[in-house]
Amino acid sequence: MALRLCLLLALWLPLMAIAQVAQRVISLAPNLTELAFAAGLGDKLIGVSAYSDYPPAAAKIEQVASWQGLNVERILSLKPDLVLAWRGGNPQRPLEQLASLGIKIIYLDPQSIEQVASALDQLAEFSQDPAPGHQVAAQMRQQLQTLTARHNSKPPLPVFLQFSTQPLFTASGQTLQNQIVTLCGAANIFADSPAPWPQISREQVISRQPRLIIFPGTPQQQDEIKAFWQGQLNVPLVAVNADWFNRAGPRIMLAAQQLCQQIDQLNAQP
């Protein structure tokens, strides 16, 4: 009896592994598309959301979702066996409809570098070759350790994270962006906000006396930011690649490296 059970398990376990490999994947957010490619599922993607433009191959995949919602009819016609969703940004009712029809839904909303790495590990298990995805996750963790060790002993630089002008938005300590700032030896002046993405006033920013403004964008947009402050806040400005910084995907470590390098250069100035 025991021998028979062992033989059955020997046959069943490989079938389980094969059954878990995804063949037709749909991603419902740009960062999830990036995660899917990094986890080795890029060649299995048959549908993505609007603004899924990285890697370049993602831009050639049919779009089945946007800020207006999901094209449930088209998603069903594509017959996915795995859908990657974002609970905070995708409408719940159509996702429940898809799940009720037997389609596997995985919700991913990483709020830290470790959670991004964990999402990669999770998705890699649906790839025919999980090793590359696990390797990317391991590299992220190693980069995190390196940057943490490099900036751990430095006094924090008070900074303001500016994500728009009209209205004026920032990020709290509950966000992935705050972790990047902290990792680079800086202190987010609105880390204590109870709202993840608070709307604030000029006066609130000025009263907290930041020594640096960080914004997602390009250096060419610095004049626009300076014009907004009208000389009321004369501090250095640092631009971080918006897609790297805003998307909770593997490229978040590129944002960290870019930002840390710029802050280190500012701290090195007499």
Cα 162 from Cα 165, distance rounded (Å) = 8
Cα 105 from Cα 128, distance rounded (Å) = 19
Is 51 marked as a binding-site residue? yes
How many residues would you count in the chain? 270
* Cβ contact 83:75 at 8 Å: yes
Q: Is the peptide bond before 110 cis (omega within 30 degrees of 0)?
A: no
What lies within 8 Å, CB to CB, of 16 at 6+ separation is none
> How far is C-alpha 264 from the chain's CA centre?
24
Cα 136 from Cα 131, distance rounded (Å) = 9
Nearest to 188 by CA among 202, 204, 171: 171
Residue ranges of the annotated binding site are 51
- For the annotated binding site for cyanocob(III)alamin, the residues are 51
